[in-house]
Amino acid sequence: MPFLRLLNVAKRFGAIKALDDVTFEVKDREYLCVLGSTGSGKTTLLRSIAGILKPDEGEVYIDGEKANDIATEERNTVYVPQNYALFPHMTVLENVMFGPLAKEIDKKTAEETAMRVLKLVRLDKRADAYPNELSGGMQQRVALARGLASGAKLLLLDEPLGALDVRLRIELRTELKKLAKESGFTVIHVTHDQEEAMTIGDRLLVLRRGHIQQHGTPYHVYNRPERIFVANFVGNTNFLEAIVESRSKEGSILRLREGLKIRVQDPSFEPGEAVIVAIREENVSITPEPRGDEINRRSGEVTAVYFLGSFTRYVVKLTNGDEIASRTPVKEAKVEINQGDWVSVNFDPGNTHIYEYPTLGLPSELEAS
């Protein structure tokens, strides 16, 4: 039985549909990451589960019980908002102990729990400090610690690592998941950081304009994006406009602008149909090629090179004017390729996704909100 179930949940604010027909389940002890941009409905979703907001339509079930009419405090749920509100007159330790003490847990146990979670968020040494003596990032960590110590079964985290430095965020995210697993929490963690979501989520829920775009394991969402929006929002993807020229058992031949042809594996579209081809940047490889070889029709000029650390990103302008980006692991970049170089572009026909050409055009599909 799922621990949490939402059935056709809808919430409107005036003319805006913040949540529209949202249905999904979360298993007991599952770590679900909700991924979406500003305005996608992520926070409204958490607040509806917490009971801070009442949905206009639909049902929320927590642990088998319909929760729509159950008060927030009775839901065995803790909501850690993005704008953490700590008690200013209490020390860090007292703030974190507040939840357990309110539940009438004895002081010694409450303090032990509090210190354990403070250690996790690396603030055990600041236990006696007051909130106003801490930086924004530290205050956010205290708020997170308070949620973790509360003893609730369902943890609703709104951008819990958002105010932290990247370095600390990467370090804390793994530990957060470990602790959630050890303590048996069921977690819903909202973020706009796709790497964070993929690293720690057992499953992902991609949200856009109040609608679920896709729900599945990180691997599934990344490798089988069901919509153009998901392919764009999760990962780094090239999109090319094309017309299906022919298809066979081996796949399809697509015609890009100016007649440039490419082969893809997906045979699901009819010849003559307009489609969008999605190719992950890391699945595009480039090799140096002497300039002037105009016969190779998948060649182009490097228009920009960006070093990203573990990857280098190259932007190549193909002979038909389309731009395609390639991400090459720094370890594999044996030959130096510079802006202005002429290169040959390759990708595996199996590593592509084909979508029906969107009615409103490609840019509208890529918009986050």
Residues near other proteins, by CB under 8 A: 37-38, 135, 137, 165-168, 170, 174, 192-195, 198-200, 218-219, 222, 232-236, 280-283, 285, 304, 306-311, 313, 327, 329-332, 367-369
What is the spatial distance between Cα 91 and Cα 95, in angstroms, rounded to a whole number?
6
Q: How far apart are CA 134 and CA 150, in angstroms?
A: 21
The answer to whether 152 and 163 have CB atoms below 8 angstroms apart is: no
For residues 251 and 310, give the distance between their C-alpha atoms in angstroms, rounded to a whole number: 33
Q: How far is the CB of 297 from other proteins (least distance, A)?
A: 23
> How many angstroms separate the Cα of 195 from the Cα of each of 33, 166, 170, 234, 326?
11, 12, 9, 8, 19
Please say which residue, 310 or 359, places its beta carbon nearer to other proteins. 310
Q: How far is CA 63 from CA 76, 79, 197, in A?
A: 9, 16, 24
Q: Which is nearer to other proteins, 208 or 247 (CB)?
A: 208
User: Please, which residue, 85 or 330, has the CB nearer to other proteins?
Assistant: 330
Beta carbons of 368 and 233 less than 8 angstroms apart: yes
Tokens for 113, please give them.
């729990």
The distance of closest approach from Cβ of residue 351 to other proteins in the complex, given in angstroms and rounded to an integer, is 9
Smallest distance from other proteins to CB 331, Å: 6
Residues 123/70, Cβ–Cβ less than 8 Å:
no
236 or 320: whose CB is closer to other proteins?
236
Q: Rounded to the nearest whole angstrom, what is the least distance from the CB of residue 356 to other proteins in the complex?
A: 22
The residue assigned the tokens 């040959």 is 344
Conformational region of residue 92, where left means phi above 0, alpha means psi within -120 to 50, and beta covers everything else: alpha
Give 136 or 259: the residue with its C-beta nearer to other proteins.
136
Question: Of 46 and 60, which CB lies nearer to other proteins in the complex structure?
Answer: 46
Q: How near is the Cβ of 141 to other proteins at its closest, in Å?
A: 12
Cβ nearer to other proteins, comparing 25 with 282: 282
Confirm if 216 and 185 have CB atoms less than 8 A apart.
no
Least Å from the CB of residue 142 to other proteins: 15
Is 59:6 a contact under the CB 8 Å cutoff? yes
